[in-house]
Structure 1
Amino acid sequence: MTRQLLSLLFLASALHAGEVPDPLVANDGTKITTAAEWREKRRPELVELFTREMYGRNPGRPETMAFEIFDRDVVALDGKATRLQIAIYPGGKPGPRVDLLVYVPNGAKGPVPAILGLNFSGNHAIHKDPGIRLTESWIESKAAPDHKATDATRGSNASQWPVEEILSHGYALATMYREDVAADHEPYFGSGVHPLFPELQKGDENFSTIGAWAWSLSRALDVLEKEPVIDAKRVAVFGFSRLGKAALWAGASDQRFAMVLSNESGAGGAKLFHRGVGENIERLTTVFPHWYARNFKKYAGKDKELPFDQHMVISLIAPRPVYIGSAQEDTFADAEGEFMAAKSAEPVFRLLGAEGLPAETWPPVGTSVQGGIGYHVRPGKHDVLPFDWQQYLAFADKHLKPR
């Protein structure tokens, strides 16, 4: 029995809860059989579909966008790195400001690849480095009951960001704080970049919070393209949980990103809704009504009837490499459903000449499988652990470094 047939049989049995739509069937019912047809016909259809029905419209790159480097320390982290801090003004100055923190490994010969991602608790929380500017945005922290950053909150999220290890592999690390970009608490759309674009909040295709986070990653890439020490053609976008959802959409909608690393992004990220397992659309659109465009709410209670699903978002990343990380105890994210979505995207990767996911069945816990698509499910709960980063860095070493 051929590898392809085994894969098809596995998908058919595992998706007993509902058939997933075929990413290679166009809106008019025609089968996509060439890379040109994918690029010229099907890919634009899918980008428009997810924009309209799920993530909402975004403003593109504003002509008035500005940025300035306000810190460049060439002996940061005991001389291991150059630290850059860049203020991005998406609507121009004066206006909402998003701080981009960048560490570049010292001693590199020529521009280096980078890993870019949003963080949960502020740039100052990813490392105890006293030179990192404290955010002025709202923070959610037990150490800050008034929701304001203090020196006590420095390094509070460092366990999820192994800065020195990333640097040791030859990668720059770039990060921004989610709340600088868009509010993840009430009043939704009341701070960050949303007030710049009030016209995009009208109607049911509105500029959502996850849409804004993804959009901000593209604006950060705009800035990194201007920095000579960064190889902007080799930038991987990373995200965990809801920020993993944003990273997937950023990579799907912006083809400049060279790689996508999704850590436990779950429902509305990497998992399949059609399985009917884990967090569902009803909960997403009720508990987190700001995350997606208003159009998405009409699918509440219809997870198995969707005319689309998240394997199509993963397909939009092809032929660029993508890694999906899951956790065994993260039941909301449905680890097997994340694997199934990755596997269901494989036909597009193969059509475009890329390697797929080299596993025909859900891999054992603690095992990483890495092709053009990578996947693992590790022991433990919803978090970013050293095991996750070890796999992501190995995957990046395989795909981002010069051969």
Structure 2
Amino acid sequence: MATLQEILAARKLPELMTMNDGGAVAGIGGWEKRRVELLDVLAQEVYGVSPAPVPASWKLEEEAAAYADKAVEKRFTVSFDTPKGVFSFPLYLAVPRSEKPAPCILLMNFRAQIPDEYYPVEEILDHGFATACVYYEDVSSDDADMENGLAGCYSLAERRDGQMGKIGCWAYAMSRAADVLLEQPELRKDGIITAGHSRLGKTSLWCAAQDRRVAGCISNDAGCSGDAVTRGKLGEHIVDITANYPFWFSASYQRHRNREEQMPFDQHFLLAAIAPRPLAIGSAQIDEWADPQSQLLSCIAAGPAWQLYGLGALAMPQEMIPVDSALQDGAVSFHYRSGTHFLSRRDWQYYLNFFAKKLKL
């Protein structure tokens, strides 16, 4: 049986540590230049170019004690300027009562309900984290309508190459939510962690890769065009995801349908752009569409970025790790749980334990 290293070599991924001009990445300074190249190719070819950051303003709409008075819940309206006027969306925040600022997990979620089956607020608080949440369709609908919400504010219906899709919209809104969170004195300035599941795991990755203020990233079952390398993977491929959800991406992503071996990038570029900040990836056994092995291979392939900073990425297994186990000793965490495509309580336990250790809670 081939080892993971042999399987990865056979995938023939684009070189992470080679500059566009063919030169080798030299030290951290060279990596910072390479990171710009990675973000540029991902913007031009996959997610689209994000608008320049426009810092958000905020209004506190509601504040109340919660969870047996061990926390305070706040609800904000977040607003910022766009080419077509001011755009606003709601932001939820729960903060544990504490004498010192808390790190905050910022979740882009599929539903507006709080708490939610994907979002165990009280358990997150009990681990010492604050938590914030944005309902993704408060930003833009999850469909081909490019005229509503934030998509309409940037004339995305034109669908030009390099123009952002819905993932770009959601990721940009996450950064505007971070603007607000970074102004809250009860939150750690070095502790904003983005989080998301499935397509919103892709969103969490894209936000964290671009926004250096983000201290860490959680991506759960993001799979194709997210946290799994595309070359050689099982299940979903670009031809599938662009047929079913073309509006998530830039129109330019279509040209890589059935041409994955020729792409000048793969998804380990996205993971590596988050280095040296901690990154946690979750996979599920019965999720062939995402392909857990290709998620793990992506983490391994991205590892040299963390190693440049003197940080271990993750242990280098010879084969796929056992079900219901995790690799969490380095700056990159990978876990593989039983079950289907879902953001479960077990996933949250892996993420909370990892980031509690990384942030020294």
Q: TM-score range by the shorter chain?
A: over 0.9
| 1:35 equivalent in structure 2 | 28
The answer to whether the 8 A contact 2:160-2:250 is kept is: no
* 1:382 matches 2:341: yes
Cα deviation digits, residues 73-124 of structure 1 (max 9, x gap): 1x12221211110101233797442110000011x112111000111011xx
Q: Aligned residues: percent identity?
A: 34
Preserved CA contact (<8 Å) 1:83 1:101: yes
2:177 alignment partner, SS class? helix
Secondary structure of the structure 2 residue equivalent to 1:273: coil
Task: Find the counterpart in structure 2 of residue 173 from structure 1.
Answer: 131
Show the counterpart of 1:54.
46
Equivalent in 35, 41, 61 of residue 70 of structure 1: 61
Deviation at 1:225, TM superposition (A): 1.2
In the superposition, relative to structure 1, how do residues 57 and 374 fare at CA in structure 2: closer, same or farther (>3 Å)? same
Aligned partner of 2:316 in structure 1 is 359
Within the candidate set 22, 29, 34, 2:15 is matched to 22
Query: Does the CA contact (< 8 Å) of 2:159 and 2:250 recur in 1?
Result: no
Q: Which has the larger radius of gyration?
A: 1
For 1:235-246, what aligned pairs fall within 5 Å after superposition? Answer: 235-246=192-203
Task: Quote the Cα distance in structure 2 between the aligned partners of 1:394 and 1:282.
Answer: 36
What secondary structure is seen at the aligned counterpart in 2 of 1:161? Answer: coil
Matched with 1:109 is 99
SS in 1 for 2:354: helix
Contact 2:73–2:95 under 8 Å retained in 1: yes
- Check the 8 A contact 1:66/1:88 in 2, yes or no: yes
CA contact (8 A) 1:113 1:234 kept: yes
Amino acid in the other structure paired with 2:36: P
Q: For structure 1, which runs of at least 5 residues remain unmatched after alignment?
A: 1-8, 128-157
CA spacing shift, 1:112–1:194, aligned 2, 3 Å: same
Query: Where does 1:243-262 land on structure 2 (aligned, <5 Å)?
Result: 243-262=200-219
Deviation (angstroms), 1:201: 4.6
Which of residues 273, 278, 285 is equivalent to 1:316? 273
Are the counterparts in 1 of residues 233 and 294 from structure 2 also a CA contact under 8 Å?
A: no
**Aligned match of 1:6:** none
Query: Aligned partners of 1:349, 1:10: CA distance in 2, in Å?
Result: 22
The alpha-carbon distance between structure 1 residues 203 and 185, as it changes in their structure 2 partners (threshold 3 A), is closer
2 CA distance for matches of 1:94 and 1:219?
A: 15
CA contact (8 A) 2:147 2:156 kept: no
Q: How many residues align?
A: 357
TM-score scaled by length of structure 2: 0.94
Taking structure 1 as the reference length, what is the TM-score of the superposition? 0.85
Deviation string 1:9-56 (CA, Å, 9 cap, x unpaired) is: 9454213653011110010111113111111x2111111111111111
Q: d(CA) in 2 for partners of 1:265 and 1:231?
A: 27
CA drift at 1:354:
1.3
**Greater Cα offset, 95-104 or 242-251:** 95-104
Residues 286-333 of structure 1, C-alpha deviations (whole Å, 9 max, x = no match): 110100101111000112322111111110111111011000001100
Contact 2:147/2:157 (8 A) holds in 1: no
1:288 corresponding residue in structure 2 = 245
CA-to-aligned-CA distance 1:315-374 (integer Å, 9 cap, x gap):
011111101100000110000000000011111110121111113232111111101111
- For residues 186 and 36 of structure 1, the distance between their equivalents in structure 2, rounded to whole angstroms, comes to 41
Structure 1 segments of 4 or more deviating over 3 A? Answer: 9-12, 92-96, 199-202
Give the letter aligned to residue 400 of structure 1.
L
Contact 1:274-1:305 within 8 A present in 2 as well: no
Unaligned runs of 5+ in 2: none
User: Conserved in 2, the CA contact under 8 Å of 1:330 and 1:381?
Assistant: yes
Indicate the residue corresponding to 1:401 in structure 2: 360
Distance 2:85 2:165 in 1: 23
Q: Give the letter for the 1:314 counterpart.
A: L
For the residues of structure 2 that align with 1:109 and 1:121, how far apart are their CA atoms?
32
Q: Secondary structure at the match of 1:354?
A: coil
CA 1:199 to 1:284, structure 2 compared with 1: closer, same or farther past 3 Å?
closer
Change (3 A) 1:218 1:71: same
Question: Partner amino acid for 1:178?
Answer: Y
- Could you say what the CA RMSD is over the residues aligned between the two structures, in angstroms? 1.8
In the alignment, the residues of structure 1 paired with residue 340 and residue 180 of structure 2 have an alpha-carbon distance, to the nearest angstrom, of 35
Instruction: After TM superposition, give the deviation of residue 233 of structure 1 in Å.
Output: 1.6
The 5-angstrom pairing of residues 196-207 of structure 1 reads: 196-198=153-155, 201=158, 203-207=160-164
1:17, 1:276 → 2: CA distance? 12
